[in-house]
């Protein structure tokens, strides 16, 4: 039998992981510079964490969850998103008692969707959450931080920020009723999903991708007309802070996000470079979620960044030459043990990545392998070198003469040489 990966899951192969590590490293570094600390969350949660936290009437809960009963009949689900899990962990471990928290997490999320480029059933996400700080200052900080992430990744020209405010619970209730009153006489003109959502989750119709439904909604009531004064003031304050920080943005009055826990400010970073999968990072405020999951009332805000899509953008826009190793040690004759000592000394003193040749192969084939590996340097250990207690050093990426050096000179030259990865 020939085994294949489960549909919608993915293998990230060695030729691709260097770029993944670069992208993840940039995001994690920026998070650390803003005071965020890592929290590690389980892949499995009680299903109710998501159904209660995210909302029963969302697409995620209704048709996208990987859910099963364990041997004791308890319903469990692979996590489809990270915020509800993070809130559960904070409540359970007492992290929110009279304290503010800035947290980030990283890992796989699972949603049963139709697989396509940039949208697999398993995807990798970096998410971050802030607890205990009401907006709009922290909302602005999150968005400024994300602008920095995209800038340092070199993809800032391919993404743009869209923002909206959902207002208070009362204003959303008034708007929801107005939307239902407007759409009900037009029920037959809506697509099938929107007809269902009109009963279960009317605001999600605003996010429909069906052109006829979008045209109907565009002529309908505007959420901005139903906002309370406090929500307007907070949203205006956020926009002023973004302007002062030089973060460009566009107000999208149809942006509502697909999860029920969002309140007040919501946002998406979108791109035109990935086809239909245009959202690369999304988030907003969720001031009622901690209370909904059994904790005390604590304000919260955060985001989730889809790394699969960000890596695709980075690959399209940022040219990189990644290498497997920095130094390749070629050895001829019975000198493997001494070559191994040299390789260990290089690793210890220079922190560079060293591969020592193993198995058969003449010097010419070993140097070809060194070149394929992307190494910048080849270190050669053979009869002539051992006789003089030295090694030969050969630059593989530039025109220069092969030199015979002792190990101390070798280490000094390699210490002064930058690593190959990411060049």
Q: Are residues 312 and 336 in the same domain?
A: no
Q: Count Cβ atoms below 10 Å from residue 363 Cβ, excluding itself.
A: 15
Identify whether residues 283 and 410 lie together within a single domain. no
**Does 376 lie in the same domain as 235?**
no
Q: How far apart are CA 88 and CA 85, in angstroms?
A: 5
CATH number of residue 386's parent domain: 3.40.50.800
Tell me: do 257 and 342 sit in the same domain: no
Q: What is the pLDDT of residue 311?
A: 96
| pLDDT for the residue numbered 375 | 93
Assess if residue 212 is contained within a domain: no
pLDDT of residue 422: 47
Residue that finishes a domain, picked among 317, 349, 374: 317
Percent of the chain with pLDDT over 70: 96
**Rounded CA separation 400/175 (Å):** 72
* Paired residues of 129 in beta bridges: 103, 302
Q: Does residue 147 belong to any structural domain of this protein?
A: yes
Question: Is 185 contained in some domain?
Answer: no
Instruction: At 311, list the tokens.
Output: 């890596």
Walk across the sheet containing 403-405 and list its strands. Answer: 354-356, 327-331, 377-381, 391-395, 403-405
Pair 253, 389 in one domain:
no
Last residue of a domain, one of 317, 336, 351: 317
What would the pLDDT profile of 359-391 be if each residue is shown by its tens digit? Answer: 889 999 999 999 999 999 999 999 999 999 999
Residue 281 has φ and ψ, to the nearest 5°, of -160, 130
Instruction: Mark whether 243 and 344 lie in a shared domain.
Output: no
Taking the alpha carbons at both ends of the chain, their separation in whole angstroms is: 42
**Is 74 a member of any domain?**
yes
Q: Residue 248: give its domain's CATH number.
A: 3.30.930.10
Residues of the chain with pLDDT under 70: 56-62, 258-259, 276-277, 418-423
Number of domains in the chain: 2
32 with 123, same domain: the answer is yes
51 lies in which domain range? 14-168+228-317
Whether 178 is in a domain gets the answer no
pLDDT value for 259:
65
Same structural domain, 374 and 341 = yes
Helix (H) or strand (E) holding 47: helix 47-54
Q: What is 273-313 written as a DSSP string?
A: TTTT--EEEEEEE-TTHHHHTTS----EEEEEEEHHHHHHH
- Is 55 contained in some domain? yes
> Quick one: DSSP state of residue 62?
I
Residues 234 and 382 in one domain: no
For residue 61, give both structure tokens: 């809960």
User: Domain boundary residue among 291, 317, 343?
Assistant: 317
Same domain, 37 and 109: yes
In a domain, residue 62? The reply is yes
Domain annotation covers residue 184: no
331 and 313 in one domain? no
Tens digit of each residue's pLDDT (9 = 90 or more) over 163-173: 999 887 788 88
Q: In terms of domains, do 312 and 333 share one?
A: no
């Amino acid at each position: 039998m020939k085994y294949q990966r489960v549909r919608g899951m993915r293998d990230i192969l060695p030729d691709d992981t260097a770029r993944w590590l670069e992208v993840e490293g940039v995001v994690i570094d920026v998070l650390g510079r803003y005071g965020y600390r890592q929290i590690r969350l389980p892949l499995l949660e009680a299903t109710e964490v998501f159904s209660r936290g995210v909302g029963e009437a969302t697409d995620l809960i209704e048709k996208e969850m990987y859910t099963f009963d364990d041997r004791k009949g308890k319903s469990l689900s692979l996590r489809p998103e990270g915020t509800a899990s993070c809130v559960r962990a904070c409540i359970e471990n007492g992290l929110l008692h009279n304290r503010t928290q800035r947290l980030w997490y990283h890992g796989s999320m699972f949603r049963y969707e139709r697989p396509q480029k940039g949208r697999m059933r398993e995807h990798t996400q970096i998410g971050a959450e802030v607890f205990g700080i009401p907006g709009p200052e922290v909302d602005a900080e999150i968005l400024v931080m994300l602008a920095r992430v995209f800038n340092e990744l070199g993809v800032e020209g391919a993404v743009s920020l869209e923002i909206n405010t959902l207002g208070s619970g009362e204003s959303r209730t008034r708007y929801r009723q107005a939307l239902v009153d407007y759409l009900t006489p037009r029920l037959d003109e809506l697509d099938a999903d929107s007809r269902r959502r009109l009963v279960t989750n009317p605001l999600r119709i605003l996010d429909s991708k069906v052109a006829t439904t979008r045209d109907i909604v565009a002529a309908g009531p505007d959420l901005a007309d139903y906002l309370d004064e406090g929500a307007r003031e907070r949203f205006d304050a956020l926009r002023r802070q973004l302007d002062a920080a030089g973060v460009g943005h566009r107000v999208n009055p149809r942006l509502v996000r697909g999860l029920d826990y969002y309140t007040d400010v919501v946002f998406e970073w979108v791109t035109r470079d990935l086809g239909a999968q245009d959202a690369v990072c999304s988030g907003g405020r969720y001031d009622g979620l901690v209370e909904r999951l059994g904790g005390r009332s604590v304000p919260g805000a955060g985001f989730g960044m889809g790394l699969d899509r960000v890596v695709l953008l980075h690959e399209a826009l940022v040219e990189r030459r990644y290498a497997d190793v920095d130094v390749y040690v070629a050895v001829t004759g019975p000198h493997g043990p001494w070559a191994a000592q040299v390789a260990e000394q290089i690793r210890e003193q220079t922190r560079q990545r060293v591969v020592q040749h193993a198995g058969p192969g003449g010097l010419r084939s070993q140097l070809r392998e060194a070149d394929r590996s992307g190494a910048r340097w080849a270190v050669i250990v053979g009869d002539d070198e051992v006789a003089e207690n030295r090694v030969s050093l050969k630059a593989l990426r530039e025109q220069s003469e092969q030199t015979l050096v002792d190990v101390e000179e070798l280490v000094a030259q390699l210490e002064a040489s930058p690593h190959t990865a990411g060049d």
